[in-house]
Amino acid sequence: MQLNFLVLFEGNNMSFLVRGLWVTISMTFLALILSSAIGLIIGLGRMSKNKVVSGVCSAYLAWFRGTPLLVQLMILYYGLAIGMQIDLSASMAGVLGLGMYSGSYVSEIVRGAIQSIDRGQMEAGRSLGMSHWQTMFKVILPQAVRRMLPPLGNEFIALTKNSSLLSVITVSELMREANLIVSSNFRYFEIYIGVAVMYFIVNSSISQGINFLERKLNVEGR
């Protein structure tokens, strides 16, 4: 069988792929917001002097980093519905699964960046009359954000690629649309190369966006 990349544009193939790509981007964006919020909370919680808070955050981190994302998605979508009668939609289960899984990695990025800031910054803020949390959010975090950007960019790219697992729980994202097309025309190579190019474009755009933010923050921080 000869290669024919025009198969990507036959019938509604490209429109199906673009529709799947939009679902991938939108769900990844929602998961990104969730993972950032979770990462900040868990990251700060891990540094808490309260043993209960730090213990809960450590347990969260151990669970989500110690189990595969695919298993977590299956538990959220199939396990909760059958075992606990909690019927989540495929999209909701997908966003929650991606967000909670990625949040465990973001939390370590947040914690590492905060701990890399000189402790004198906290002492300086407290000496000016600010509380611990005021100093954290007004002094420490703004400096830490610059150091978070490169690893956060890598994590967000990984999040986009991990979204392909959502096809397993019937989310009509890019990979699932590609699988449906392939099941009808058996043009595996051409379709999956097209899908790979789409993922590459999205992830390259994320990388460029992170690089732009790095340059902007570096210039403003001088």
What is the pTM assigned to this prediction?
Answer: 0.88
Residue 222 has pLDDT above 50, yes or no: no
Q: Tens digits of per-residue pLDDT, 6-15?
A: 888 888 999 9
Kindly state the percentage of the chain with pLDDT values over 70. Answer: 98
- Is-contact 163 173, C-beta < 8 A? yes
pLDDT tens per residue, range 142-201:
888 888 888 998 999 999 999 999 999 999 999 999 999 999 888 999 999 999 999 999
The total domain count for the chain is: 1
Residue 43 has pLDDT above 60, yes or no: yes
Pairwise CA distance, residues 47 & 107, whole Å:
11
Q: How many whole angstroms separate alpha carbon 202 and alpha carbon 204?
A: 5
Nearest to 210 by CA among 141, 139, 138, 148: 148
Instruction: Please choose, from the candidates 165, 144, 193, 143, the residue with its C-alpha nearest in 3D space to the C-alpha of residue 31.
Output: 165
Nearest CA among 75, 85, 97 for reference residue 28: 97
Whether 172 and 20 have beta carbons less than 8 Å apart is answered as yes
Please check whether residue 191 is in contact with residue 8, taking contact to mean a CB–CB distance below 8 angstroms. yes
How many residues belong to the chain?
Answer: 222
CATH number at residue 88: 1.10.3720.10
Angle 90-115/13-46 helices, nearest 10 degrees? 40
Q: What is the pLDDT of residues 58-95, one digit of tens each?
A: 999 999 999 999 999 999 999 999 988 999 999 999 99
Residue 215 has pLDDT above 90, yes or no: no
Helix, strand, coil share of the chain (percent; to 5): 85, 0, 15
Residue numbers of the domain that contains 84: 5-221
